[in-house]
Amino acid sequence: MRLMGVYLLALLMSACSADEQSWSPKPQSWQDITISMETQPTPARVGMNEFLLIANHQQRGFVNDLLVEVHTEHSGWKQAMPDGALGVFRRALPVSDIEHDHLYVRLTRRGEQGEIIFALAPPAH
């Protein structure tokens, strides 16, 4: 019986942590580009986090003619570095408050500029 209780507790804990780790903000669009954001570690934590932004043309694959700059509430604008030519951009930035901080993204392409904002945690219910 005790073994069954330990098993159920472990199962419940893994289910809760899987839900926490599975959240990511919805992709956002700018021009004909869809931007997705991921963090390392996942989920984001207080301290330094690496942000990965994945840029895809809607219907046509990866974007490689894009300048991506990012910041959080506790950093200035920093250029996100392209990771190869696949439309992946990376930058580590500080995070102080997971519930209230955001990742601000400035996109520049063909002389046009736009901004999008990603939450770092799901909205409170």
76 found inside a domain:
yes
Rounded CA gap, 2 and 4, in Å?
A: 5
Q: Work out the widest C-alpha separation in the chain, in whole angstroms.
A: 67
pLDDT-derived band at 108 (thresholds 50, 70, 90) equals very high
Query: Does residue 9 fall inside a structural domain?
Result: no
Q: What pTM was computed for the model?
A: 0.79
- 32: domain CATH number is 2.60.40
User: In the structure, what pLDDT confidence band is assigned to residue 61 with cuts at 50, 70 and 90?
Assistant: low
> Rounded distance, CA 52 to CA 57, Å?
17
Which pLDDT does position 123 carry in this prediction? 85
Is residue 15 pLDDT above 60, yes or no?
A: no
Closest CA to 109 of 32, 54, 36, 52: 32
* DSSP annotation of 45: -
48 assigned to some structural domain: yes
pLDDT tier, 93 (very low <50, low <70, confident <90, very high otherwise):
very high
Indicate the residue type of 105: V
Q: Does residue 85 belong to any structural domain of this protein?
A: yes
Range of the domain at 83: 25-119
Average per-residue pLDDT for the chain: 83
